[in-house]
Structure 1
Amino acid sequence: MVTDVHVTVWDDRSGGGAATPALFVHNIFTWGDDPEYGFAGQRPLTADRPLLLMDRRGYGDSPDTARSDFEVDAEDVVGLLGTGAHLVGHGNGGVVALLAAARRPDLVRSLALIQPSAFTAATDRPLVAALLDRVRGLTPTVTDDATPERFLRESTESVGLPVPEPTPRRLRAVATSMRERPIWEAEIPLAAIQGAGVPVLVVCGTWEDAPAAYREHVGLPLIEVAESLTDSLGARLVRMPGYYPHTQRPADVNAALREFWGGVTGVS
């Protein structure tokens, strides 16, 4: 592995033998093995293969960064792919995973996207287009006097979500998210992934039980992104109840990943 970021490595296999590792890339406000928003619920998958849970720069145990940037994160992911890995990304981490897969598709054995924030790859969808018009027309909402604790509270309460405990680790992740490069600046070369024949799985919640404001402003555009990427990449789309699939329904997500990885030709 050639990278400066921290990686949590889980490997609970009882026997020997080679198995292709799976590399996970997290969203905002979180880190790799976070039980609240991260991939703690995917630990049972380590019975089959090693899991590499990357902490993006400024998150978890990775070093600080002046500004989190999906392009830099994508380079970090490439440095962690080794001789090849299954790649999984959630939210903004899904955009990072897409960018990394486009750069080195030869090292990506498969690509699984959990509600990726790849809005710029789905601009032909009406709700996505409306969201992009709205956010691009806004002035920056993070003021000099905004604290991570206040930002965390307002970001969750404003859409009807519970506020996570404001631990120092959480607040550091929020502070990094406040400075993160806007995801709508990402230019995602889908053709490089499609042309390389990388198998793709897209996981998306149905959002029926989400708070109304969260569903309207976030969920419905994310559903359009999932559907658009499924069409563009010839992916398999798995829908399941809820709005945070890998934490709300970890057993279902894990089953979908196991089945997906098991069907990748020529890869253990």
Structure 2
Amino acid sequence: MFVHGAGSFGAAAWPRQHGLSLDFDCLYVRRHGFSATEEPLPTDHARDQAIIADALGAGGHVVAHSQGAVAAMMLAVERPDLVRTLTLVEPACFSLTADLPATSAHIALMAPLFAVRHAVSDEEFLRSFVRRTFSAEAGMPNTAEGRRGAARLRLQSPPWEAPLSIVPGVPTFVLTGGWEPLYEEVADYLAGTGAIHRQAPGGHRPHDSEEGAALVRSFLRTGRDAAV
């Protein structure tokens, strides 16, 4: 079960993982409010959990990226019977590390923007978000999907406000890109609770690199074999 972040969604968010269909019955979900044709909707963690749970059926392995990791972890906490293993790629689970230095600094930088997100345009929010996150400029995407993506980004709730305070007791693997202390801080926190943490190149999408894809595949196969 693959759960996307705030950018591309469905199978498009996992191009290097499509080959896992040779070994697994792979499903690529769309989180609440993500559609190629409908207007974006605000974040709803409960709806996201329900989407993941329904797709899992009797249970399975969950792989989640960035903001998608929040609902995936929440489900693993509440329904560990459904989640056999949990793979988190650059998890934006900032509720867990809100008091730690890198996360605290990130919240201080981004909270003022989220506080006014309903009073600014999609383009203004996108520009400010990218500038604060990547120190670069961004213009309004000039396609229908690009404009929906910008609107969707403005509607995403701050990850540090997610109702997540404990970690699940299921085998957990965390993959980070080693580019941003914020995500390394979350990964170190999870490693301290028993998760396996590895790094691979690729920035915020290390699962797109050959090394990262191989690490994800290896963990899933190990988890599957252990359950036999």
TM-score (norm 2): 0.85
RMSD between aligned residues: 2.6
Q: Look up the match of 1:156.
A: 130
Pair 66,239 (structure 1): closer, same or farther in 2 beyond 3 Å: closer
**Pairwise CA distance, 1:129:** 2.4
Q: Give distance in 2, aligned partners of 1:248 and 1:39.
A: 8
CA distance in 2, matches of 1:62, 1:102: 33
Q: Partner of 2:221 in structure 1?
A: 262
Greater helix content: 2
Report if the CA contact (8 A) 1:86-1:109 is conserved: yes
Partner of 2:173: 201
Q: Match of 1:190, SS?
A: coil
Instruction: Tell me, yes or no, if structure 1 residue 32 matches structure 2 residue 10.
Output: yes
d(CA) in 2 for partners of 1:61, 1:255: 30
Aligned residue number for residue 107 of structure 1: 82
- Structure 1 unaligned blocks of 5 or more: 1-22, 208-218
Task: Find the aligned partners of 1:245 and 1:133 in 2 and give their Cα distance.
Answer: 24
Paired with 2:131 and 2:108, the residues of 1 have a C-alpha distance of: 24
1:118 to 2:93 alignment: yes
Q: 1:172 to 1:99 in 2, by over 3 A?
A: same
Per the TM alignment, residue 41 of structure 1 is displaced from its structure 2 partner at its CA by 2.2
Judge conservation of contact 2:103–2:182 (CA < 8 Å) in 1: yes
- Deviating above 6 A after TM superposition, structure 1's stretches of 4 or more consecutive aligned residues are none
**What is the correspondence of 1:60-209 to structure 2 with a 5 Å cutoff?**
60-61=35-36, 64=39, 66-136=41-111, 140-142=115-117, 144=119, 146-147=121-122, 149=123, 151-156=125-130, 159-160=134-135, 166-191=142-167, 193-194=168-169, 198-207=170-179
The whole-number CA distance in structure 1 between the counterparts of 2:135 and 2:112 is 24
* Structure 2: runs of 5+ lacking an equivalent: none
Change beyond 3 A, Cα 1:137–1:161: closer
> Match of 1:83, SS?
coil
1:241 alignment partner, SS class: coil
Q: After the TM superposition, which of the residue ranges 88-97 and 171-180 deviates more from structure 2?
A: 171-180
Paired with 1:84 and 1:62, the residues of 2 have a C-alpha distance of 30
Partners of 2:184 and 2:8 lie apart in 1 by: 22
